[in-house]
């Protein structure tokens, strides 16, 4: 991760390098920070997953204790969703969206850095639970009363509540930032209906974040007040009600599922279209389908609660609403297939992941429709069938999509091409391992295995399938390990990726050098249609038409304040658990930083654009 | 377009929207208010769910005093109006007037906050504490979150006043005035629903 | 989405100096609605369900007026602010419906 | 023991693509795919409708995908630019309308079954009422019509509607007997009602489906369906006076150490699981089986005795986090342990 030429004052050596990364407000660098942090948490979550699978490899296995097992499942779920999947999504959004809309940066570069550091310190706080020996253990859904102090008296769930609260603030800031960026910073000519599909997906995802995360915030506040200040939201004896938590959690939680999957849809649309050399089939329908999915996503949360006892009317309504989501999703799948139809499909590693996504996600989608049927869900609910289903959507869908996106945009982010052979090898290990792991889990559920069990009795017909599942998990691990090897090998190679390394790039990011210069575009481009870069290439142009004359480029100054604010939140999180004085100190740090940011105007600095250098354009 | 293109004395008619940064700020803040709407909505739904879970504590109709609530409502409503006047003064580039109205706004906000603290104190003496019941927890969380927003608004507008005194009204400071005013109105609108749903409907 | 103006263009706005009249009208309206609301509750003899709907109706009218005028949502260029608030309100409606339905159930 | 129906199995195997591991549809007393009662059968029918529709969708997508990948792969040296198709409204309408039709086909039986399962038989005089209270890692079954309470092993008559009222005593649990019917949650502070039917006599495995703590995996119970005459005899036996250990020393220990939390018949305290007729139960603590490998669910009292001792020796080892102290903490002598185990293993209700 080398830093490139920087026009502001830079300090030499390691500390200068570190300072550069701690203070950066450049969306491309923040994207890399998100990718590194997300990758780190992904490794944590992956180790947890592997331990879970090893424990379940044999009946009545005693590799790990029941307590530890519950800690593992809780941390695995929480880490993977909030600390691995979300940041990698933000990594791609940061790396790509400003480039795709022809912008120099996001709307709020400072807030962008703040969002990252807040997320990072929230995640760190949550994972410090391992070191402190008091680990969350009530499942990632944290249903009370199991998650209240009456049944979980140690600080484990406090780490969950406070860590997620802090990470959630970061995510909310990111969501607002990307909405504002996409609304206000599109290049001239880039109308909404000319935006690349990934940008659309990012826009809708950001909107979902803005409207869904506050509900989680309130849920976590209520849980925190219950746990720390003796409130009674979920205390049945004092008139509280546990179902409130389930409603609030899933009112956030279901949109969260679409927050996760929509960016993957966006990635697939880009990758498949590029490697088929064809424009996206039915672009406007795709946009409409995305909006519809997001809208319906808010009206289906109670399908996670069919067995809670909401009554037949609610169950019927939520069943039908849930089934309705299958329609726009189905439209998307067929539009991808017909994007490839008549195209000229190139099987790069990125495209393999994207193509692998389609059947895998379809299988996750159809089991989703099966789950939507409330009476049958009485059987599936909280069984391994559900585990199989949501791993098909979140791993088979989201993670596969993210891996496609990472392979696809890696040259734009780092200026180097990932090794194709290793990429393909990792794909085959990953996809075969994935299906081995999770396909059998549907049947385990149907044969009567509940989820979240630390072990199971022999002689119930579970043994073989659990063994197969564990072998699959090991294969998947190999696939991911090959990917990491690929990353390491690639980082050692020279940085010589071309502007448009896939040669069939369609959108604006492929018109500029890889990696993009600090200011992205020397001149803000004029966008003349959908797939703007493709259009220019087809007309024989070597560059985008500029929308402004060459001139000094204004850049925002780096700042250490976002990092300090993250630290402030971190201190305050600890303080809420152990000593309220520190909670206050942490929050005061945050407020003081906010005031400092307001008082001292950021005048930024200017980059004088040089004449095009030969070295900048790849030979 | 950067802040440097505008110099003092050549302030545009709507200085808050003169720069891209200003427009970004206003848009981003509106989106934040969308999130705040959900935040308060969730708190309202928790309150509504628990409005009857009073246990041994005082019931809402015994607890709430209409005259007090009415005074608080009027104070906040007037402060919202003075906040509009501040923005109007800004549009006319009358910095002094603007600062005056902002000062009035935060003064009224402080009165509101003082009354709320007094009110909470009274309730606690009547046995309506944070931990009494699910109803009391939900009440204090909802109304307390609103009070926290008022307190933050006072600090914020105060800081903006100090900045204007130091830097004057420019295209950099104008968006701060505008955005803090929008925030203040939003708090007032939330209070409209609090006095309706919590206090008045609790007395019906 | 029919919105297709390019947002990076500076918005050219004509200078209109607003008088305070409209805002005072909104203030008076808000005050009147507030007084009616408090009076309806203080009177205490009216039909309960009617009062609740009256209170909610008046709160919505008052909030709407304040957002339209004081928060300038009626002005041009407020498409996305409206989306933001409407989106939030949509989620809130789901939430409040949830709270009410579930406590009745 | 696995009485699966050949036709159903064949259909399933075809549907799921002849998955070799699905050699059987699982245990008849446990599997969703092997329904043993009308509720589970109806749920299975909805499942099959959805599996049918979804298989169709998956087959179409896979076929299209494979065709596209083979037919339109890029040949070496091919630099032609394909036609940039914008879309096709006719096609898009087709793949909007067909899924809607498929979903309606699924929605109709779904809504019908929701209505069916929402029927409340609690006040039906012909139904048997069972109040199920779930505690951390054990189940209490109260029969308000008969004034009796048992634990861990639900005994029900065949052919009647069993009306359940579900509640939790501590954290949230979920009551699930897969072969008989889908689950319903036991919520603290809220009651849920639903019903099940057991047409065939036999033992069915039930379990907790909601994460409830470290021993969630061990929170199993059994449902024993017997004919009406046997059920009546069982009720009568349960209603009868408690049988206490004959040996004075053992009785004294049992009353002072066990009956402070447990109950037998009309004696003891209703804090922990009721122990009346423990010797007739298939398991100790829900997971230690008292039967022999040769004959499933035929109780061997010697094994019961052994299991009770295993349980008493270290309850936290069998079910971590449960509330029951081990023998050491109760200061039971080895002689008392043996005596109590023998007494409980032989405390059988003669009803079958």
ipTM: 0.91
Instruction: Tell me if the bond preceding A515 is cis, omega within 30° of 0.
Output: yes
Contact A76, D329 (CB under 8 A): no
Closest by CA position to A133, among listed A155, A152, A148: A155
Stretch C53-74: mean pLDDT: 90
What pLDDT was estimated at residue A614?
41
Considering only CB atoms, A375 lies closest to which of D25, D46, D220, namely D46
Which residues does chain A have within 8 Å of residue B141's beta carbon, measured at their own beta carbons? 221-222, 225, 231
What pLDDT was estimated at residue A54?
96
Q: Which residue has the tokens 């982010």?
A: A413
- CA closest to D111 among chain A residues: A316
Which residues does chain A have within 8 Å of residue B8's beta carbon, measured at their own beta carbons? none
Stretch A295-300: mean pLDDT: 92
Using one digit for the tens of pLDDT, what is the confidence trace for B31-85? 999 999 999 999 999 999 998 888 888 888 888 989 999 999 999 999 999 999 9
The subunits that touch chain C, with at least 3 C-beta pairs less than 8 Å apart, are A, B
Query: C61 and C94 share a domain?
Result: no
Contact B154, B162 (CB under 8 A): no
What pLDDT was estimated at residue C7?
40
Asked if A184 is an interface residue toward chain C (Cβ–Cβ < 8 A), one would say yes
- The nearest CA of chain C is from the CA of A188 a distance in Å of 6
- CATH number of the domain at D12, please: 1.10.287
User: Is C2 within the bounds of a domain?
Assistant: no
Q: Which of residues 398-457 of A touch B (CB under 8 A)?
A: none
What pLDDT was estimated at residue C46?
73
Stretch A137-143: mean pLDDT: 95
User: Is D95 within the bounds of a domain?
Assistant: yes
3-state secondary structure of A24: coil
- Cβ neighbours for C58, distance < 8 A, ≥ 6 positions apart: B196, C33, C36, C37
What pLDDT was estimated at residue A170?
95
Give whole-number Cα distances, D9 to A246, A369, A513, B33, D284, in Å: 37, 23, 59, 56, 34
Q: What is the spatial distance between Cα D174 and Cα D219, in angstroms, rounded to a whole number?
A: 10
Contact A64, A55 (CB under 8 A): yes
One of 1.10.3720.10, 3.30.2130.30, 1.20.120.80, 3.30.365.10 is the CATH number of B14-203, namely 1.20.120.80
Query: D257 and D324 share a domain?
Result: yes
Chain B interface test: which of A209, A221, A232 (most B C-beta within 10 Å): A232
In three-state form (DSSP H/G/I as H, E/B as E, the rest C), the secondary structure along A266-285 is HHHHHHHHHHCCCCCCCHHH
Contact D106, D50 (CB under 8 A): yes
- The nearest CA of chain C is from the CA of A158 a distance in Å of 25
Q: What is the pLDDT along chain D (352 residues), one digit of tens a residue?
A: 344 455 455 455 555 554 444 445 788 899 999 899 999 999 999 999 999 999 999 999 999 999 999 999 998 888 889 999 998 999 999 999 999 999 999 999 999 999 999 999 999 999 999 999 999 999 999 999 999 999 999 999 999 999 999 999 999 999 999 999 999 999 998 999 999 999 999 999 999 999 999 999 999 999 999 999 999 999 999 999 889 999 999 999 999 999 999 999 888 998 999 999 999 999 999 999 999 888 888 999 999 999 999 999 999 999 999 999 999 999 999 999 999 999 999 999 988 7
Q: Which of residues 287-326 of A touch D (CB under 8 A)?
A: 307-309, 311-312, 315-316, 319-320, 323-324, 326
Question: CB–CB of C99 and B70 under 8 A?
Answer: no
Stretch A227-240: mean pLDDT: 92
pLDDT at A455 over 50: yes
Q: What is the spatial distance between Cα A350 and Cα A405, in angstroms, rounded to a whole number?
A: 7
Phi, psi dihedral angles at D4 (to 5 degrees):
-95, 155
Asked if C20 is an interface residue toward chain B (Cβ–Cβ < 8 A), one would say yes
The residues pairing with D185 across neighbouring beta strands, listed in sequence order, are D174
Query: D211 and D283 share a domain?
Result: no
Q: What is the spatial distance between Cα A590 and Cα A561, in angstroms, rounded to a whole number?
A: 9
Ranges of residues in chain B whose predicted pLDDT is under 50: 1-8
User: What share of residues in chain A are helix, strand, coil (percent, to 5)?
Assistant: 70, 0, 30
Contact A353, A274 (CB under 8 A): no
Overall size of chain A counted in residues: 619
Considering only CB atoms, D69 lies closest to which of A320, A345, A377, namely A345
Which residues does chain A have within 8 Å of residue B137's beta carbon, measured at their own beta carbons? 222, 225-226, 231-233, 240
Structural tokens at position C33: 């609605």
Considering only CB atoms, D54 lies closest to which of A277, A341, A370, namely A370
What pLDDT was estimated at residue C103?
59
- CA closest to C41 among chain B residues: B204
Strand order in the sheet with D202-208: D153-157, D220-226, D202-208, D173-177, D181-186
User: Could you tell me the residue range of the domain that residue D292 belongs to?
Assistant: 248-345
Using one digit for the tens of pLDDT, what is the confidence trace for A340-378? 999 999 999 999 999 999 999 999 999 999 999 999 999
Q: How far apart are the first and last CA of chain C?
A: 39
- CATH number of the domain at D264, please: 2.60.40.420
- Cβ neighbours for A275, distance < 8 A, ≥ 6 positions apart: A345, A346, A347, A348, A350, A351, A354, A502, A504
Contact D222, D283 (CB under 8 A): yes
Torsion angle of alpha carbons B179, B185, B190, B192, nearest 10°?
180
Q: Give domain limits for chain A.
A: 19-559+602-607, 560-601
Phi, psi dihedral angles at D190 (to 5 degrees):
-135, 145
User: What total number of domains does chain D contain?
Assistant: 3
Alpha helices in A452-579 (DSSP H): 463-491, 532-538, 561-578
User: Is C39 within the bounds of a domain?
Assistant: yes
User: What total number of domains does chain C contain?
Assistant: 2
Chain A interface test: which of C94, C96, C98 (most A C-beta within 10 Å): C98
Query: D110 and D184 share a domain?
Result: no
User: Could you tell me the residue range of the domain that residue C28 belongs to?
Assistant: 20-74
Q: Which of residues 27-66 of C touch B (CB under 8 A)?
A: 27, 30-31, 34, 37-38, 41-42, 44, 48, 51-52, 55-56, 58-59, 62-63, 66
Query: D42 and D113 share a domain?
Result: yes
Considering only CB atoms, A243 lies closest to which of D78, D183, D187, namely D187
Query: C70 and C84 share a domain?
Result: no
Closest by CA position to A228, among listed A129, A152, A113, A149: A149
Contact D27, A448 (CB under 8 A): yes
What pLDDT was estimated at residue C97?
81
With residue A34 as reference, give the H or E element that holds it.
helix A27-55
Class of the CATH-defined domain A19-559+602-607: mainly alpha
Q: Give domain limits for chain B.
A: 14-203
Asked if A485 is an interface residue toward chain D (Cβ–Cβ < 8 A), one would say no
| A47 C-beta neighbours (distance < 10 Å), count | 14
The C-alpha R_g of chain B, in whole angstroms, comes to 19
* Among D62, D97, D117, residue at a domain's last position: D117
pLDDT at C50 over 90: no
Residue environment code for A276-302, b if the CB has 16+ CB neighbours within 10 A, otherwise e: bbbbbbbbebbbebbbbbbbbbbbbbb
In three-state form (DSSP H/G/I as H, E/B as E, the rest C), the secondary structure along chain C is CCCCCCCCCCCCCCCCCCCCHHHHHHHHHHHHHHHHHHHHHHHCCCCHHHHHHHHHHHHHHHHHHHHHHHCCCCCCCCHHHHHHHHHHHHHHHHHHHHHHHHHHC
Give whole-number Cα distances, A211 to A171, A259, A262, C80, D56, in Å: 12, 11, 15, 14, 36
- Cβ neighbours for D278, distance < 8 A, ≥ 6 positions apart: D284, D304, D308, D344, D345, D347
Under the phi-then-psi rule, with left for phi > 0, alpha for psi from -120 to 50, and beta for the rest, what region is A216? alpha
Q: How many CB pairs below 8 Å do chains A and D form together?
A: 300
What pLDDT was estimated at residue C105?
46
Which residues does chain C have within 8 Å of residue B42's beta carbon, measured at their own beta carbons? 92, 95
Contact D328, D299 (CB under 8 A): no
Q: What is the spatial distance between Cα A559 and Cα A555, in angstroms, rounded to a whole number?
A: 12
Chains B and D touch (3+ CB pairs under 8 A): no
Closest by CA position to A409, among listed A300, A274, A281, A540: A274
Q: What is the spatial distance between Cα A368 and Cα A43, in angstroms, rounded to a whole number?
A: 27
Question: CB–CB of C6 and A243 under 8 A?
Answer: no
What pLDDT was estimated at residue D290?
93
User: Is C92 within the bounds of a domain?
Assistant: yes
DSSP D66-109: HHHHHHTBPPTT--PPPP-----HHHHHHHHHHHHHHHHHHHHH
Give whole-number Cα distances, A166 to A76, A227, A568, D307, in Å: 18, 17, 10, 49
Question: CB–CB of C94 and A251 under 8 A?
Answer: yes
Half-sphere exposure of B4 (CA within 13 A, CB side): 9
The chain-wide mean pLDDT, for chain A, equals 93
């Amino acid at each position: 991760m080398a830093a490139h030429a920087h026009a502001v004052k830079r300090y030499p050596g390691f500390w200068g390098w570190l300072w550069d990364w701690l203070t950066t407000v450049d969306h491309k660098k923040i994207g890399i920070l998100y990718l590194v942090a997300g990758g780190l948490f992904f490794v944590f979550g992956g180790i947890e997953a592997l331990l879970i699978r090893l424990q379940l490899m044999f009946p009545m296995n005693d590799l790990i204790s029941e307590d530890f097992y519950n800690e593992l499942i809780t941390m695995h779920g929480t880490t993977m969703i909030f600390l691995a999947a979300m940041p990698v999504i933000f990594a791609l959004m940061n790396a790509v969206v400003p480039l795709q809309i022809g912008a120099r940066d996001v709307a709020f570069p400072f807030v962008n850095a703040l969002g990252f550091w807040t997320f990072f310190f929230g995640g760190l706080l949550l994972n410090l639970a391992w070191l402190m020996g008091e680990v969350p253990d009530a499942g990632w859904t944290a249903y009370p009363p199991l998650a209240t102090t009456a049944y979980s008296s140690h600080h484990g769930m406090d780490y969950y509540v406070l860590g997620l609260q802090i990470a959630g603030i970061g995510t909310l800031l990111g969501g607002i930032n990307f909405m504002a960026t996409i609304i206000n910073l599109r290049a001239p000519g880039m109308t909404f209906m000319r935006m690349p599909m990934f940008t659309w997906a990012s826009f809708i995802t950001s909107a979902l974040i803005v409207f869904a995360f506050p509900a989680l915030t309130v849920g976590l506040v209520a849980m925190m007040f219950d746990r720390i200040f003796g409130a009674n939201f979920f205390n049945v004896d004092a008139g509280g009600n546990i179902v409130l938590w389930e409603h609030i959690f899933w009112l956030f939680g279901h949109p969260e599922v679409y927050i996760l999957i929509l960016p993957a849809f966006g990635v697939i649309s880009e990758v498949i279209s590029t490697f088929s050399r064809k424009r996206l089939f039915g672009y406007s329908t795709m946009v409409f389908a995305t909006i519809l999915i997001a809208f319906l996503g808010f009206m289906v949360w109670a399908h996670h609660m069919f067995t809670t006892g909401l009554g037949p009317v609610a169950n019927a309504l939520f069943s039908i609403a849930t089934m309705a989501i299958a329609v726009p999703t189905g439209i998307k799948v067929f539009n991808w297939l017909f994007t490839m139809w008549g195209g000229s499909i190139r099987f790069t590693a990125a495209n393999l992941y994207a193509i692998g996504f389609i059947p895998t996600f379809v299988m996750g989608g159809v089991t989703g429709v099966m789950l939507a049927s409330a009476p049958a869900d009485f059987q599936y609910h909280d069984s391994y069938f559900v585990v199989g289903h949501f791993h098909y959507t979140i791993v088979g869908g989201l993670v596969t999509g993210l891996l496609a996106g990472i392979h696809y945009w890696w040259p734009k982010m780092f200026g180097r091409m990932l090794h194709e052979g290793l990429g393909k090898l990792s794909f085959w290990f990953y996809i075969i391992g994935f299906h081995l792991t999770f396909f059998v889990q549907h049947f385990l559920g149907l044969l009567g295995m509940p989820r979240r069990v630390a072990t199971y009795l022999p002689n119930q017909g579970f043994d073989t399938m659990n063994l197969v599942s564990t072998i699959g998990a090991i294969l998947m691990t190999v696939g991911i390990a090959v990917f990491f090897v690929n990353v390491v090998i690639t980082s050692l190679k020279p940085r010589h990726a071309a502007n448009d390394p896939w040669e069939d790039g369609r959108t604006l990011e492929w018109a500029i050098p890889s990696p993009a210069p600090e200011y992205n575009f020397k001149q803000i481009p004029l966008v003349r249609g959908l797939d703007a870069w493709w259009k220019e290439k087809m007309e024989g142009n070597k560059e985008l038409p500029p929308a402004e004359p060459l001139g000094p480029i204004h850049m925002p100054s780096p700042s250490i304040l976002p990092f300090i604010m993250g630290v402030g939140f971190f201190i305050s999180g600890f303080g809420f658990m152990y000593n309220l004085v520190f909670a206050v100190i942490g929050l005061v740090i945050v407020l003081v930083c906010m005031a400092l940011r307001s008082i001292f105007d950021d005048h930024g600095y200017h980059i004088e654009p040089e004449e095009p250098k030969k070295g900048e354009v790849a030979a | 377009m950067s802040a440097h293109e505008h110099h003092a004395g050549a302030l545009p008619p709507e200085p808050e929207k003169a720069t891209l940064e200003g427009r970004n700020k206003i848009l981003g803040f509106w989106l934040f208010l969308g999130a705040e709407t959900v935040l308060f909505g969730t708190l309202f739904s928790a309150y509504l769910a628990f409005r009857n879970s009073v246990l041994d504590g005082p019931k809402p109709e015994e607890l709430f005093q209409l005259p007090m609530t009415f005074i608080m409502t009027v104070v906040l409503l007037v402060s919202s109006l003075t906040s509009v006047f501040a923005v109007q003064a800004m549009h006319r580039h009358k910095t002094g007037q603007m600062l005056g109205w902002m000062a009035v706004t935060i003064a009224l906000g402080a009165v509101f906050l003082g009354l709320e603290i007094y009110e909470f104190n009274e309730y606690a003496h009547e046995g309506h504490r944070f931990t009494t019941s699910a109803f009391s927890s939900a009440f204090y969380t909802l109304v307390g979150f609103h009070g926290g927003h008022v307190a933050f608004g006072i600090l914020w507008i105060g800081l903006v006043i100090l900045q204007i005194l130091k830097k004057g009204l420019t295209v950099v400071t104008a968006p701060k005035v505008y955005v803090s005013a929008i925030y203040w109105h939003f708090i007032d609108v939330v209070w409209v629903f609090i006095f309706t749903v919590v206090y008045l409907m609790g007395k019906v | 989405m029919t919105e297709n103006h390019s947002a990076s263009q500076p918005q050219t706005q004509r200078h209109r100096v607003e008088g305070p009249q409209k805002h005072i009208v909104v203030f008076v309206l808000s005050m009147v609605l507030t007084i009616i609301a408090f009076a309806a509750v203080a009177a205490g003899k009216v039909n309960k369900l009617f009062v609740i709907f009256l209170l909610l109706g008046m709160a919505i009218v008052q909030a709407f007026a304040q957002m339209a005028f004081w928060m300038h949502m009626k002005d041009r260029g407020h498409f996305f602010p409206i989306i933001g608030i409407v989106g939030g309100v949509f989620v809130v409606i789901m939430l409040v419906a949830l709270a009410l339905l579930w406590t009745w159930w | 023991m696995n009485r699966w129906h050949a036709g159903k199995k064949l259909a399933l195997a075809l549907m799921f693509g002849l998955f070799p591991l699905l050699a059987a549809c699982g245990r008849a007393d446990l599997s969703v795919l092997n329904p043993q009662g009308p509720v589970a059968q109806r749920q299975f029918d909805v499942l099959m409708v959805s599996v049918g529709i979804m298989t169709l969708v998956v087959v179409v997508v896979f076929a299209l995908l494979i065709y596209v990948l083979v037919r339109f792969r890029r040949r070496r040296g091919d630099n032609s630019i394909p036609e940039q198709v914008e879309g096709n409204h006719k096609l898009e309408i087709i793949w909007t309308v067909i899924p809607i039709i498929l979903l309606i086909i699924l929605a109709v039986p779904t809504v019908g079954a929701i209505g069916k399962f929402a029927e409340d038989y609690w006040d039906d005089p012909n139904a048997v009422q069972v109040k199920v209270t779930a505690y951390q890692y054990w189940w209490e079954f109260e029969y308000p019509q008969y004034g009796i309470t048992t634990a861990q092993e639900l005994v029900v008559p065949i052919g009647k509607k069993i009306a359940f009222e579900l509640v939790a005593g501590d954290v949230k649990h979920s009551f699930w007997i897969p072969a008989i019917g889908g689950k319903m949650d036991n919520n603290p502070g809220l009651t849920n009602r639903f019903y099940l039917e057991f047409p065939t006599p036999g033992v069915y495995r039930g379990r907790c489906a909601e994460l409830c703590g470290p021993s969630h995996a061990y929170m199993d119970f059994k449902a024993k369906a017997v004919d009406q005459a046997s059920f009546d005899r069982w009720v009568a036996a349960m209603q009868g006076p408690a049988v206490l250990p004959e040996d004075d020393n053992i009785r004294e220990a049992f009353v002072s150490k066990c009956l402070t939390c447990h109950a037998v018949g009309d004696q003891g305290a209703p804090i922990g699981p009721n122990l009346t007729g423990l010797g007739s139960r298939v398991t100790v603590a829900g997971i230690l089986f008292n039967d022999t490998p040769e004959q499933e669910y035929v109780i061997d009292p010697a094994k019961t005795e052994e299991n009770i001792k295993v349980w008493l020796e270290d309850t936290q080892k069998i079910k971590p986090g449960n509330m029951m102290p081990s023998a050491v903490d109760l200061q039971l002598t080895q002689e008392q342990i043996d005596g109590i185990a023998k007494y409980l293993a032989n405390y059988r209700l003669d009803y079958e």
